[in-house]
Amino acid sequence: MPKTATRQKTTTKTNKSLSNGNNKFVKQKPEEKITDKVDPKVSQNEHKERKKSQKGLIKNVEPELLKEMLYQMVLGRIFEQKCAEVYRIGKIGGFCHLYIGQEAVAIGSMMTLREDDLVITAYRDHVQAMVKGIPPEAVMAELYGREGGVVKGKGGSMHMFSQEHNFYGGHGIVGGQIGVGTGMAFAQKYKETDNVTLCFFGEAAVNQGIFHESLNMAQLWKLPCIYICENNKYGMGTSQARAMSISSIAQKAEGYGVASEFVDGMDVLAVRAATERAIKRAREKSLPTLLEIRCYRFMGHSMSDPGKYRSTDEIKQYQLRDPIFLFKESLLDAKVITDKDYEEIENRAKEAVEKALKFAEESPLPDEKELFTDVYA
């Protein structure tokens, strides 16, 4: 199998441009050399650099919120680890795409939202669903295909929805939700609300026509939509380098006049800061933004992914930059939390996941009559 291309230097350099947040466009640097090299030193340096950045940004956020962000990240991690565990013993069926490694993206961006803001995402949706407020019980019961699931056992892993929480799903067709999210933003403008829409998708979705159609309309009609490209470097088992002629997704946004930024997706506070800028632009000026958030999934594409397309060295290198580890260290250094606090956070998350698991185990299977309900309104 080909070795995996990574772009360490791009991430480092573009992060610097994040700090001057008022720029309409972050200028794209010329295409940097794509390297197959796996170098732990690079990772360690980047980790250090992000720590420095977090030290600066930490002051801008309330300590209680910082703790809650860390809790949500830990909860997401432990929840997904539990999913992997019970998937392997057959408790969860079908496709199951885990979020492990990408937590800083959902938490950093979504915890800047108001309750009435809208969120839509692809099929890697468990953590986004919980961050938007859906109880872990309802998500786990959905994974179990039970009556108590958030969509009554009809959607499964890929299709979490909650109208109450303005969570518009969980979508299984790569890129499809980019257009739907654009329509949700269209409706907010039409109804003259100041709600913003966060629309998540992976970098491979950028190769679909709907991405380009959506960005064109969003800028043409000035829609308050924030497009969050979670660039985890692989579309299933195909690396970005093998699938995309230009590696900069932010540069593609420029083609439509849409403002864009690169963000390091290992850094929850950098994600937060960039999202805040995008939200301001959307809420106050009704303008779209594209955030290319570079992250890495530590697990396979789905539970059925043997992962032969990338080296364990590569995974290890990114694990050195674990977003939870980074944020935890930053909060300890800033004395926002103590080791004991972290232990408590972890225990609380474990308890929440155990509670969710118990709820799912005890929730009955859907009644057979449910096969034919909700087909038509």
Partner 1 sequence: MAEMTIRDALNQALREEIIRDENVFIMGEEVAEYDGAYKVTRGLWKEFGDKRVVDTPITELGFAAVGVGAAMAGLRPVIEFMTFNFSILAADQIINHAAKMLYMSGGQFKVPIVFRGPNGSAYQVSSQHSQALEAFYANFPGLKVVMPSTPADAKGLLKSSIRDDNPVVFLEQERMYGLKGEVPEDEDFLIPLGVADVKREGTDCTIVARSMTVPLAMQAAEQMQGEFDVSVEVIDPRTIKPLDIETIVKSVKKTNRLVIAEESHAFASVGAEISYQVMEKAFDYLDAPIKRISTAEAPMPYAKNLEELALPDVPKIVAAVKEVCYL
Residues that bind partner 1 (CB under 8 A): 118, 120, 149-155, 159, 161-163, 168-173, 176, 178-188, 190-191, 209-210, 213-214, 216-217, 220, 373-377
For tokens 């929850």, what's the residue? 268
Nearer CB in complex with partner 1: 132/272: 132
Nearer CB in complex with partner 1: 152/233: 152
Nearest distance from residue 245's CB to partner 1, in Å? 21
The angle, 0 to 180 degrees and rounded to 10, between the axes of the packed helices 339-362 and 323-333 is 140
Yes or no: say if 150 and 159 are a contact pair by the CB < 8 Å rule.
no
Partner residues linked to 207 by β-bridges: none
Rounded distance between C-alpha atoms, residue 360 and residue 19, angstroms: 44
Nearer CB in complex with partner 1: 60/373: 373
DSSP string, 119-168: EEE-S--HHHHHHTT--HHHHHHHHTT-TTSTTTTSS-TT---BTTTTEE
**What number of H helices and E strands is found in the chain?**
13, 8
Nearest distance from residue 210's CB to partner 1, in Å? 6
Rounded distance between C-alpha atoms, residue 305 and residue 13, angstroms: 32
Nearer CB in complex with partner 1: 185/326: 185
Rounded distance between C-alpha atoms, residue 318 and residue 42, angstroms: 10
* Length of the chain, in residues: 377
Distance of CA 124 to the CA centre of its chain: 8
Rounded distance between C-alpha atoms, residue 90 and residue 96, angstroms: 12
- Which residue in 169, 236, 154 sits closest to 200, CA to CA? 169
Nearest distance from residue 177's CB to partner 1, in Å? 8
> CA torsion sign, 289 to 167 to 122 to 349?
positive
Nearest distance from residue 368's CB to partner 1, in Å? 15
Nearest distance from residue 224's CB to partner 1, in Å? 12
Nearest distance from residue 228's CB to partner 1, in Å? 16
Nearest distance from residue 149's CB to partner 1, in Å? 8
Nearer CB in complex with partner 1: 217/274: 217
Nearer CB in complex with partner 1: 220/365: 220
Q: What is the largest CA-CA distance in the chain?
A: 58
Burial of 193: CB neighbours in 10 Å, binned 0-12, 13-18, 19+: middle
Yes or no: say if 120 and 197 are a contact pair by the CB < 8 Å rule.
yes
Nearest distance from residue 362's CB to partner 1, in Å? 19
